[in-house]
Chains A and B, each alone.
Chain A
Amino acid sequence: MNAIDTSLTGKSAMKLLSGNQACALGAIAAGCRFFAGYPITPSSEVAERLARQLPEVDGVFVQMEDEIASMAAVIGASMGGVKAMTATSGPGFSLKQENIGYAAGAEIPCVIVNVMRGGPSTGMPTRPSQADLMQARWGSHGDYPIIALTPGSVSEIYSETIRAFDLAEQCRTPVVLLYDQVIAQLSETVALNGAGHTKAERKWANGPRAAYKPYDTGSDGIPAMAKPGDGYRTHTTGLTHSESGFPTQQPEVVTRNLKRLFTKLEHHRALIDAYEALRCDDADVVIVAIGISARAAIRAVEQCRAQGQRVGLFRPITFWPFPEKQLRQAAAKAKAVLVPEMNTGQLQFVVERVLGKPVDGIHLFSGEALTPADIAARAAALAKGA
Chain B
Amino acid sequence: MFIDTAAEFDVRDYLRKEMMPHFLCPGCGHGIALRALLWAIHDLGIDKDKLAVVSGIGCAGRLSAYIDANTFHVTHGRPLAYATGLALARPDLHVVVITGDGDCLAIGGNHLIHACRRNLKLTCLMLNNEVYGMTGGQVSPTTSETRLTTTTPLGNQEPHFDACALATAAGAGFVGREVTHHVPKLKELIKAGLKHPGFAFVEVLSDCTEIFGRKNDLGSSPEMVMRQKSNIRPSAYADTVDTPFRPNTLPTGVLSKNNRPEYGASYRRATAEHAGAPR
Residue ranges of A at the interface with B (Cβ–Cβ < 8 Å): 33-34, 36, 52-53, 55-56, 58, 60, 62, 64-66, 68-70, 72-82, 84, 98-99, 102, 226, 228-239, 244, 246-247
Do residues B279 and A52 form an inter-chain contact, with CB atoms below 8 A? Answer: yes
Bound-state CA distance A231–B49 (Å) is: 5
- Asked whether A99 and B75 contact (CB < 8 A) given A72-B81, A73-B82, A233-B70, the answer is yes
Binds A, one of B5-13, B61-69, B176-184: B61-69
5 sample A-B contacts, Cβ–Cβ < 8 Å, listed by A number = A52-B278, A69-B81, A72-B74, A75-B85, A80-B52
| B259 lies within 8 A of chain A by Cβ | no
Which residues of B sit under 8 angstroms from A52, Cβ to Cβ?
278-279
The total of interchain contacts (Cβ-Cβ below 8 angstroms) comes to 147
| B154 lies within 8 A of chain A by Cβ | no
Do residues A60 and B89 form an inter-chain contact, with CB atoms below 8 A? Answer: yes
Do residues B278 and A76 form an inter-chain contact, with CB atoms below 8 A? Answer: no
Which residues of A sit under 8 angstroms from B65, Cβ to Cβ?
235, 237, 246-247
Please tell me which one of the listed residues A58, A76, A231 contacts residue B271 in the complex, with CB atoms under 8 A apart: A58
Which residues of A sit under 8 angstroms from B64, Cβ to Cβ?
235
Least CB distance from B73 to A in Å reads: 4
Q: Which chain B residues in 19-68 approach chain A with CB under 8 Å?
A: 19, 48-50, 52, 54, 64-65, 68
| B72 lies within 8 A of chain A by Cβ | yes
**Interface on chain B toward A: helix, strand, loop, or mixed SS?**
helix
- Asked whether A236 and B81 contact (CB < 8 A) given A34-B89, A80-B86, the answer is no
Do residues B89 and A69 form an inter-chain contact, with CB atoms below 8 A? Answer: no
Do residues B82 and A229 form an inter-chain contact, with CB atoms below 8 A? Answer: no
Least CB distance from A96 to B in Å reads: 11
| B257 lies within 8 A of chain A by Cβ | no
Do residues A73 and B270 form an inter-chain contact, with CB atoms below 8 A? Answer: no
Chain A CB within 10 A, most for which of B52, B71, B81, B93: B81
Least CB distance from B110 to A in Å reads: 5
Do residues B81 and A79 form an inter-chain contact, with CB atoms below 8 A? Answer: no
| B276 lies within 8 A of chain A by Cβ | yes
| B3 lies within 8 A of chain A by Cβ | no
| B90 lies within 8 A of chain A by Cβ | yes
| B84 lies within 8 A of chain A by Cβ | yes
Which residues of B sit under 8 angstroms from A235, Cβ to Cβ?
16, 64-65, 71-73
Q: Which residue of B lies closest to A65 (CB)?
A: B114
**Interface on chain A toward B: helix, strand, loop, or mixed SS?**
mixed
Do residues A76 and B50 form an inter-chain contact, with CB atoms below 8 A? Answer: no
Do residues B82 and A75 form an inter-chain contact, with CB atoms below 8 A? Answer: yes
Do residues B78 and A72 form an inter-chain contact, with CB atoms below 8 A? Answer: yes
- Asked whether A76 and B71 contact (CB < 8 A) given A81-B90, A228-B52, the answer is no
Least CB distance from A360 to B in Å reads: 42
* Cβ-closest 4 pairs across A and B: A76-B85, A73-B85, A72-B81, A77-B89
Bound-state CA distance A238–B64 (Å) is: 13
Bound-state CA distance A69–B79 (Å) is: 9
Least CB distance from A218 to B in Å reads: 23
Bound-state CA distance A78–B90 (Å) is: 10
Do residues B70 and A228 form an inter-chain contact, with CB atoms below 8 A? Answer: yes
Task: A79-B82, A247-B65 given; name 11 further pairs at CB < 8 Å.
Answer: A52-B278, A56-B276, A56-B278, A65-B81, A66-B110, A72-B85, A73-B88, A76-B89, A79-B72, A226-B70, A246-B65
| B225 lies within 8 A of chain A by Cβ | no
Which residues of B sit under 8 angstroms from A80, Cβ to Cβ?
52, 85-86, 89-90, 93
Bound-state CA distance A231–B48 (Å) is: 8
Which residues of A sit under 8 angstroms from B1, Cβ to Cβ?
none
Do residues B274 and A56 form an inter-chain contact, with CB atoms below 8 A? Answer: yes
Q: Which chain B residues in 69-127 approach chain A with CB under 8 Å?
A: 69-75, 78, 81-90, 92-93, 110-111, 113-114
Please tell me which one of the listed residues B74, B83, B271, B279 contacts residue A238 in the complex, with CB atoms under 8 A apart: B74
Please tell me which one of the listed residues A69, A229, A236 contacts residue B49 in the complex, with CB atoms under 8 A apart: A229
Least CB distance from A265 to B in Å reads: 22
Please tell me which one of the listed residues B16, B18, B83, B92 contacts residue A76 in the complex, with CB atoms under 8 A apart: B83
Which residues of B sit under 8 angstroms from A62, Cβ to Cβ?
84-85, 88, 267
Do residues A68 and B81 form an inter-chain contact, with CB atoms below 8 A? Answer: yes
Least CB distance from B80 to A in Å reads: 8
Bound-state CA distance A66–B107 (Å) is: 13
Bound-state CA distance A185–B77 (Å) is: 34
Which residues of A sit under 8 angstroms from B69, Cβ to Cβ?
233
Please tell me which one of the listed residues B16, B86, B279 contacts residue A79 in the complex, with CB atoms under 8 A apart: B86
Which residues of A sit under 8 angstroms from B81, Cβ to Cβ?
64-65, 68-70, 72-73, 76
Do residues A102 and B75 form an inter-chain contact, with CB atoms below 8 A? Answer: yes
